[in-house]
Amino acid sequence: MLIDLHNRTALVTGSTQGIGKAIAATLADAGARVAINGRRRESVDSVIAELQSESASRDLIAAAGDVTDEAGASDVHAAAGDIDILVNNLGIFGATSALDISDEEWRRYFEVNVLSAARQIRNALPGMKERGWGRVLNIASDSAVVIPEEMIHYGMSKTALLAVSRGFAKDAAGTGVTVNSVIAGPTHTGGVENFVYELVDPATPWDEAQREFMLTHRPQSLLQRLIEPQEIANMVAYLASPLASATTGAAVRVDGGYIDSIIP
């Protein structure tokens, strides 16, 4: 299958590292003009230089700004221009005992992981509907379905994101715009490495620490390893393409078989 995103503009929030960075590179390789987003212009410019040094044909632009803030989100949207593909990737996570999660943390997780995505959809969707084509992709998590006891607040926010996706898909019905969630399983990023070492002895070598983490804390995984960011990006590129025109309102799994369910 040929994934051709030429003449499309994509915005990937939180794309200066990890999954977001892999998604941005993959969409650009498929021909899209991709807006790289991060809070600091310096980090955005650095990632653009890095990605273009790997492939000079990548069409990348800077869209620096804090999308968790209404003014910052508007600035990012303006920098990106008319968005055809919106990937709400930005998210925070961390381990906290259930009874130690404060009101402030509950609010912060909701505002960063849910409200920032809803805000970006609100900014981009009207233009997509008017043009008769668009793709909205919200990066969710297996934690939306299998709530982890060590980060209930994170799971809650990703469950809410599934609801946001389904609701906006209904709003976009019949317009040529699709809205989907991608349920990512345990994925190998720098942030996840730090998280693993919160639960495993920091003196443990990485390969051993990863195995211990998966066996002890994610034993449901059929893959029995962390997923690589590129594997998430591959699914996002497909769903962002014309090939996925009949997939909308869905929660598509790239979870390594972690969720023990026949139907998501």
| pLDDT at residue 206 tops 70 | yes
Q: How confident is the model at residue 262 (pLDDT cuts 50, 70, 90)?
A: confident
Query: Quick one: pLDDT band at residue 63, thresholds 50, 70, 90?
Result: very high
Which residue among the candidates 154, 197, 238, 258 is catalytic per the annotation? 154
Three-state secondary structure readout of 237-259:
HHHCCHHHCCCCCCEEEECCCCC
Tell me which residue of 111, 103, 105, 37 sits closest to 70, measured CA to CA. Answer: 111
The pLDDT, as a whole number, for residue 139 is 98
Closest CA to 192 of 94, 110, 96: 94
What are 85-105's pLDDT values in tens digits?
999 999 999 889 999 999 999
Contacts of 52 (CB under 8 A, 6+ apart): 58, 60
Q: What tens digit of pLDDT does each residue of 99-138 get?
A: 999 999 999 999 999 999 999 999 999 999 999 999 999 9
How far is 243 from 122, CA to CA, in rounded Å? Answer: 25
Judge whether residue 227 has pLDDT over 90: yes
- With pLDDT > 70 as the criterion, what percentage of the chain qualifies? 100
DSSP H or E stretch at residue 87: strand 85-88
Q: What structural domains does the chain harbor?
A: 9-185+230-251 (3.40.50.720), 188-226 (no CATH)
Nearest CA to 234 out of 188, 193, 182 is that of 182
Above 70 in pLDDT, residue 264? no
- Residues found in the chain: 264
In 3D space, the residue among 211, 165, 210, 219 whose CA is nearest the CA of residue 192 turns out to be: 210
Burial class (CB in 10 A: 0-12, 13-18, 19+), 127: middle
pLDDT of 218 strictly over 90: no
What's the mean per-residue pLDDT of the chain?
96
| pLDDT for residue 116 | 98
Looking at residue 79, what is its pLDDT? 97
Q: What single DSSP character describes residue 111? A: I
Main-chain phi, psi angles of 232, to 5 degrees: -70, -45
Query: Is 238 labeled as catalytic in the residue annotation?
Result: no
Residue 181, Cα to own-chain centre: how many angstroms? 9
What are the phi and psi torsion angles at 218 (to 5°)?
A: -135, 50
Task: Please give the pLDDT value at position 261.
Answer: 86
pLDDT beyond 80 at 188: yes
Mean pLDDT in residue range 149-154 = 95
